[in-house]
Structure 1
Amino acid sequence: MNRREEIIGACRLILGDCLTVMRQLPNVAGVLTDPPYGIDYGGLLKGKGDGKGGSDKNGWKSYGAPEWDKERPDRRTFDEIRKIAPRQIIWGGNYFTDYLPPTMRWLVWDKGQRDFSLADCEFAWVNENRAARIFTYPRARALQDGKVHPTQKPVELMIWCLTFLPEGTVLDPFMGSGTTGVACVKQGRPFIGIEIDPGYFEIACERIRKAYAQPDMFVEAPAEPKQEPLF
């Protein structure tokens, strides 16, 4: 893979394998990420979508062939995530309980809809022994962000997650379409994103550029990070 790096405002976006890249990064304040769950999303779509990016009446959509979701990241990746930051929020944590220690704090996204073909809610593991919290945000509102990735989280959900992280740089080692980065831009937080898929990397860059083009007048922009490029 040809590694690449883009600096957009206070966001540092890196195309590459997250395990390799994380081992070259300095520590950050927090990790907020949504790794592949290893549930074979493409297989679940068989008999639901048309397999070519189409949808059925229940709202399933293929978004192409999601080969990235056939397997979970391995334990080494989660070990590196837990080393690089004092606070971590990992969506889909219920799929990684064999990698992650027990914890009191779970964050829950309540999608405000019941008995839909997809899950009513999703869970994020947090390495903090404090009370669990729930964020109610309708799935229909989430689609207004302009969904370009099959497991894309709402920007407002990720902004809420940022309130559970200490001040400083936020890392998303599974950046996908860049939602965590967009949330950081809107909240004036420095961001580092890593993505292995060149197509989604380009989408993330474009979404983050657009987020900077529409700044929140009430949020002070962070100072741009002064770091040497990795590649």
Structure 2
Amino acid sequence: MTAPAFDTPLHIHHGDCIDYLAGLPGGCIDLVVTDPPYGIAYKTGHRTEPHRFAREIENDRDLSVVEAVVPHLYRLLKNDSACFMFCAWKRQDEVAEILAGGGFTVKNRIVWDKGTTTAGDLKGAFGYQYEVLMFATKGAPAIRGKRWPDVWRHMRVSADKLHHQNEKPVPLLEQAVLSMSDPGDTVLDPFMGSGSTGVACLNCGRDFVGCEIDPGYFGVARDRLDAESAQGRMFAGCF
């Protein structure tokens, strides 16, 4: 019998996800739910320091980190499993090509309807109210429970509750987790940011593996997951 890759329900790593994932054994992950850098050099409208969201996102100048991570995701996923990956609508075709080039079959471009528009170009463009969530598969996994339409409606996180400038709402992530995994499965987020996917996994009874390169956000995720865990610190071996 092969030894399990992870010895705790919550396993998080601070550092470059490419290096970390390269050291994991193939076929140890049941589902990927992740929100990588969009390749658009995003910077929040809060442009003056010392606002906590003033700095740019790591590795957000292009899609090179997505190109680098996709082969690892495919190798780590078990057969008949799935990957959910958020992306910018402006780069969705490129992301779909990267996923397909890595062996995945892109099944849906799910629309996350955020329920409200962002600022953007107030005079020259209509308000942006959605983001794209790629749904890609390795093999032929079955949807658990309800077969949802490809528009998922969840209000974005209010500004006063944000842990990260690009934070996704936990109920949205729970919908992905519940749709394509079973209780006790291991879910990977190699760009975990403030740990929202981990919170969704805790709520849904899944194990979680996360990685974050930014030391500040890693600390936020660690503390948040510790607080959310009913069993206290379950990732004593995090590093």
DSSP-derived class of the 1:104 partner: strand
What corresponds to 1:122 in structure 2?
A: 131
DSSP-derived class of the 1:41 partner: coil
DSSP-derived class of the 1:14 partner: strand
What corresponds to 2:205 in structure 1?
A: 188
Amino acid in the other structure paired with 2:40: I
| Among 62, 78, 89, the residue aligned to 1:71 | 62
Amino acid in the other structure paired with 1:96: V
Q: Deviation string for 1:69-127 (max 9, x for gaps)?
A: 22331523111112211311111171513312262322221011247536311111111
TM-score, with structure 2 as normaliser: 0.73
DSSP-derived class of the 1:157 partner: helix
Please tell me whether residue 204 in structure 1 is matched to residue 221 in structure 2.
Answer: yes
Kept after mapping to 1: 8 A contact 2:47/2:54 = no
Please tell me whether residue 104 in structure 1 is matched to residue 107 in structure 2.
Answer: yes
Q: Deviation string for 1:122-153 (max 9, x for gaps)?
A: 111111488852211223xx227821211110
Structure 2 gaps, min length 5: 1-5, 121-126
| Among 152, 170, 173, the residue aligned to 1:155 | 170
| Among 134, 138, 147, the residue aligned to 2:155 | 138
DSSP-derived class of the 2:112 partner: strand
TM-score, with structure 1 as normaliser: 0.75
What corresponds to 1:25 in structure 2?
A: 24
Please tell me whether residue 81 in structure 1 is matched to residue 82 in structure 2.
Answer: no
Structure 1 gaps, min length 5: 1-6, 55-61, 216-223
Distance 2:169 2:116 in 1: 15
What corresponds to 2:3 in structure 1?
A: none
What corresponds to 1:219 in structure 2?
A: none
Q: Deviation string for 1:24-61 (max 9, x for gaps)?
A: 1232101100000110113xx5xx4333255xxxxxxx
**Number of paired residues?**
201
DSSP-derived class of the 1:71 partner: coil
Hey, which bits of structure 1, 4+ residues long, moved more than 3 A? 114-118, 128-132
Amino acid in the other structure paired with 1:66: E
Distance 1:209 1:191 in 2: 13
Percent sequence identity is 30
Kept after mapping to 2: 8 A contact 1:8/1:208 = no
Distance 1:113 1:172 in 2: 26
